[in-house]
């Protein structure tokens, strides 16, 4: 079995031919975790006994001709803020360290229904607040391409595990780039779907108007397989959209990767001229544009004039929503309690002891921008600028089919390199705007920088245009400067 080149599609094909069992696949990944995760630290938990039992059950179904789908028996890693029945869900926070979920998130329930096996709990920045995984209360996940560097965040555990081939694919969540940025840093594919495409039921809320669950995979085809499974209206999430399901796997498999005739690629000038854009990332983008042009694509300069305000708008809206969402964590009904005097004093003590520094910073900022006298000046104003940012995208998409941009200004940085919180926030400049606008976007690995670290490129499509997004992503993948992204770990 070639685990280094394993994908969901390849595993399914091998299982269908009887060349691979779920037990063999799960065992191979458990061995990979035992061997590599001492260096990578992507997993908070894996339960080998339970996973092997699930694999055996899958093999028995398939043998009896009752496989739940062609994907039955394939493991998929789960970010620690997405609940799985009977498993802990800590959000990498001390406050929720031992909390066991009594139910499945809708995304996980839909994957299970097709036979996918939830495989382990993946590390993240605490409550998904961070861009490096350094804010986990439990461990620092390393980048499999260079273990002195961060994997990105907040879905850093998911990205590192998929890149290091410790699991076939994973679910992440993206509030301001938390799928796309670590995907780019680790050389894998990561998709942030249109807001409302994937139900948020069972995703621990960070910023409810921005959060989306999405796939993190080693191929665009695999991302399509997972999205096809998890998209669609859910009565348990009133913000999930009641729209026809896209047929993404068909779209990806039917994509002709040799031509982009008639496709207009928009290049947002504000992104290309952003301060801090590294030479290597710029060169990768230029190389991709050259290549895509040779396939017949037309390049169009577009403008997203409110780009410079996106980070400020994001850190007002996201923290305001977070301060409200995280108010529920008080150590009373579940989670770690620190008793101190009366009930209210215990709230203070439990929250003070349970939350890490970055979570505290964001709760404070969110509380401040919502506090009496400041609401209009910050929160309401940010919501109005959010409208302008949405309109920027609407106008850009009148001139082109997709946008192509960097994912991050530079490749993965070293541990401790960005110790100033504001500096960390500013590195999200290319990813956060589409959480504000609701558009879909993805990171596709393209090449390596001069130091051997992966560079992904971001494709952005209009809301609900996932078929276009993934088809274009597939063409980019097939024409990438580097044919495959396998770290030597």
Residues acting as catalytic residues: 79, 154, 178
User: Cβ of residue 443: shortest distance to another protein, in angstroms?
Assistant: 19
Termini Cα distance of the chain: 18
| Contact string (CB under 8 A) for another protein, positions 409-438, x = contact | -----------xxx--x---------xxxx
Please name the residue that has the structure tokens 């997004």: 469
- Residue 374 CB neighbours (<10 A): 13
Q: How far is the CB of 349 from another protein (least distance, A)?
A: 5
User: What would you measure as the largest C-alpha separation in the chain, in angstroms?
Assistant: 71
Interface residue with another protein among 373, 398, 483, 488 (CB under 8 A) is 373
Query: Within positions 197 to 236, which residues make up the interface with another protein, using CB under 8 A?
Result: 209-210, 235
The interface with another protein within residues 18-77 (CB under 8 A) comprises none
CB of 46 to another protein, least distance (A): 21
Whole-number minimum distance, CB 85 to another protein, in Å?
10
Tell whether residue 275 is a contact of another protein (CB under 8 A).
Answer: no
Q: Among 35, 276, 364, 399, indicate the residue that binds another protein (CB under 8 A).
A: 364
Paired tokens of 429? 């400049």
Smallest gap from residue 432 Cβ to another protein (A): 12
How many residues touch another protein under the rule CB under 8 A: the total is 81
Nearer to another protein, 34 or 375 (CB): 375
Look at residue 73 and give its three-state secondary structure. Answer: coil
Tokens of 276: 């801090």
212-217 and 189-192 beta bridge pairing = antiparallel
Paired strand residues for 444: 457
- Judge contact between 223 and 251, C-beta under 8 A: no
Mark out the alpha helices in 120-265 (DSSP H runs). 156-163, 180-186, 220-230, 248-253
Query: Cα(73)–Cα(352) distance, rounded to whole angstroms?
Result: 42
Q: Interface with another protein includes 377 (CB under 8 A)?
A: yes
CB 445 within 8 A of CB 485: yes
Contact with another protein (CB under 8 A) among 27, 69, 269, 346: 346
CA distance 16 to 66: 12
Identify the residue whose tokens are 């509030």.
175
Q: Which is nearer to another protein, 318 or 480 (CB)?
A: 318
Q: Find the binding residues for another protein in span 384-413 (CB under 8 A).
A: 384-388, 390
Taking the complex as a whole, the smallest distance from the CB of residue 333 to another protein amounts, in Å, to 6
Rounded to whole angstroms, the Cα distance separating 251 from 249 reads: 5
Site for another protein in 443-472 (CB under 8 A): 463
Shortest Å, Cβ 208 to another protein:
9
Q: Does 343 bind another protein (CB under 8 A)?
A: yes
Residue number with CB closer to another protein (151 or 246): 246
Choose between 209 and 269: whose C-beta lies nearer to another protein: 209
Cα angle at 361 between 186 and 442, to 5 degrees?
A: 30
Backbone angles phi, psi at 37, to 5 degrees: -75, -10
CA quadruple 422, 188, 159, 213: dihedral, nearest 10: 80
DSSP tag of 326: G
Pick from 363, 403, 444, 469 the residue near another protein by CB under 8 A. Answer: 363
For residues 420 and 454, is the Cβ–Cβ distance under 8 A?
A: no
For residue 154, say if its preceding peptide bond is cis, omega within 30 degrees of 0. yes
Select from 25-33, 223-231, 376-384, 452-460 the region that touches another protein (CB under 8 A). 376-384
Structure-token match 């938990």, residue found: 45
Q: Indicate the residue among 116 and 347 with the shorter CB distance to another protein.
A: 347
Residues 21, 105, 141, 323: which binds another protein (CB under 8 A)?
323
CB-wise, 295 or 336, nearer to another protein? 336
Rank residues 68 and 426 by Cβ distance to another protein and give the closer one. Answer: 426
Contact status: 303 vs another protein (CB under 8 A) = no
Phi-psi region of 152 (alpha: psi -120 to 50; beta: other; left: phi over 0): left
Query: Which residues ranging from 83 to 122 are in contact with another protein (CB under 8 A)?
Result: 98-100, 102-103
Smallest distance from another protein to CB 294, Å: 35
Residue 191: which H helix or E strand, with range? Answer: strand 189-192
Binding mask 162-201 for another protein (x = CB under 8 A): --------------------------------xxx-----
Contact pick of 333, 398, 483, 488 for another protein (by CB under 8 A): 333
Angstrom distances, CA of residue 265 to CA of 174, 190, 254, 404: 24, 20, 20, 7
Give whichever of 10 and 351 is closer to another protein, judged by the CB atom. 351
């Amino acid at each position: 079995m070639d685990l280094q080149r394993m994908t969901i599609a390849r595993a399914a094909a091998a299982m269908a031919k009887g060349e691979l069992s779920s037990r063999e696949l799960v065992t191979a990944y458990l061995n990979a975790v035992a061997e590599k995760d001492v260096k990578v630290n992507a997993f908070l938990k894996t339960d080998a006994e339970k996973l092997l039992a699930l694999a055996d059950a899958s093999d028995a179904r398939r043998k009896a001709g009752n496989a739940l789908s062609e994907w039955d028996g394939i493991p998929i890693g789960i970010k620690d803020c997405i609940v799985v029945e009977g498993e802990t869900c800590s959000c990498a926070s001390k406050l929720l360290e031992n909390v066991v979920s009594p139910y499945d998130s809708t995304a996980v329930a839909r994957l299970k229904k097709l036979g996918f096996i939830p495989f382990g709990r993946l590390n993240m920045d605490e409550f998904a607040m961070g861009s490096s995984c350094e804010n986990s209360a439990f461990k620092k996940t390393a980048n499999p391409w260079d273990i002195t560097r961060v994997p990105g965040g907040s879905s850093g555990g998911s990205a590192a595990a998929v890149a290091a081939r410790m699991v076939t694919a994973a679910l992440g969540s993206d509030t301001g780039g938390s799928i796309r940025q670590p995907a780019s840093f680790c050389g894998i594919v990561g998709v942030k779907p249109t807001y409302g495409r994937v139900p948020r039921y069972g995703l621990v809320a960070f910023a409810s108007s921005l959060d989306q669950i999405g796939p993190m995979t080693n191929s665009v085809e695999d991302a399509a397989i997972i999205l096809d499974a998890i998209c669609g209206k859910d009565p348990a999430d009133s913000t999930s959209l009641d729209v026809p399901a896209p047929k993404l796997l068909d779209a990806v498999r039917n994509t002709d990767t040799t031509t982009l005739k008639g496709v207009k690629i928009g290049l947002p000038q504000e992104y290309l001229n952003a301060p801090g854009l590294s030479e290597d990332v710029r060169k990768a983008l230029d190389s991709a544009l050259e290549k895509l042009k040779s396939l017949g694509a037309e390049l169009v300069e577009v403008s997203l004039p409110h780009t410079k305000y996106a980070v400020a708008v994001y850190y007002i809206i996201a923290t305001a929503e977070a301060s409200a969402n995280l108010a529920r964590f008080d150590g009373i009904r579940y989670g770690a309690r620190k008793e101190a005097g009366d009930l209210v004093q215990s709230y203070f003590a439990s929250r003070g002891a349970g939350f890490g520094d970055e979570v505290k910073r964001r709760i404070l900022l969110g509380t401040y921008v919502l506090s009496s006298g400041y609401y209009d000046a910050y929160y309401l104003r940010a919501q109005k600028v959010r409208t302008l940012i949405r309109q920027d995208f609407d106008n850009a998409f009148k001139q082109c089919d997709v946008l192509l941009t960097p994912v991050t200004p530079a490749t993965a940085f070293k541990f401790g390199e960005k110790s100033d919180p504001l500096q960390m926030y500013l590195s999200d400049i290319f990813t956060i705007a589409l959480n504000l606008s609701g558009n879909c976007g993805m990171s596709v690995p393209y090449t390596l920088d001069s130091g051997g670290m992966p560079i992904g490129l971001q494709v952005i499509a209009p809301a609900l245009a996932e078929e276009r997004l993934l088809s274009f992503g597939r063409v980019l993948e097939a024409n990438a400067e580097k044919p495959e992204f396998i770290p030597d770990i």
